Amino acid sequence: MAILEFCQWLQETHVGTSIRESTLLFPVLEGSHLLGLGVSAGTIAISDMRMMGLIFKKQKATDVMGGLLPFTIAGFVFMMITGALLFWSEPIKCYESIWFRLKVLFLILAGANAAIFHLTIWRTMDRWADQLPPPAGARWAGFMSLLLWGLVIAAGRTTAYNI
């Protein structure tokens, strides 16, 4: 089944129609998605800025990031669930939107950046957790994360307004 055919089928399901035609459910999902985004991206931004050595310089990176990680994960999971339901309500609109495609691309790149960070630099964090400036790899990963999440947010907001 082609992607467009899948989107057409998904849009016509009972769940997709119910979300799309509900007076209350769609805006609640959209607001919830933004709240999840705020928690997830906000805590990611704090972690990234610490990795770049810009904030919380007197605190170990392991302490800052370890304290934020549960909130980051919870916000991300909540954002993905609500985002999937929003997609379910308008998959054809998303399929036809270049901004949605860019959002997905930037989200994949942000995930790849996080995976590379956690498979490499994160494993040695105990050696540089209180080092200023942090190693170049940590600063680069933090910068790329901030950039990519900013692009995810911008493309997502543009998708919502159909520009």
Query: Does position 1 have pLDDT exceeding 80, yes or no?
Result: no
Q: Which two tokens stand for residue 27?
A: 């805006």
pLDDT at 163 over 90: no
Q: How confident is the model at residue 161 (pLDDT cuts 50, 70, 90)?
A: confident
Alpha carbon of 24 to those of 12, 20, 121, 152: distances in Å? 19, 10, 44, 26
Nearest-Å Rg of the Cα atoms of the chain is 18
Residue 75 half-sphere exposure toward CB, CA atoms < 13 A = 17
Distance CA 137, CA 121 (A): 7
Q: What is the structure's pLDDT at 123?
A: 93
pLDDT at 160: 80
Q: What is the pLDDT of residues 59-115, one digit of tens each?
A: 999 999 999 999 999 999 999 999 999 999 999 999 999 999 999 999 999 999 999
- For the segment 8-62, what is each residue's pLDDT rounded down to a tens digit? 999 999 999 999 999 999 999 999 999 999 999 999 999 999 999 999 999 999 9
When the pLDDT of each residue in the chain is averaged and rounded to a whole number, the result is 95
Q: What is the value of pTM for the model shown?
A: 0.92
Range of the domain at 18: 3-160
- Provide the domain count of the chain: 1
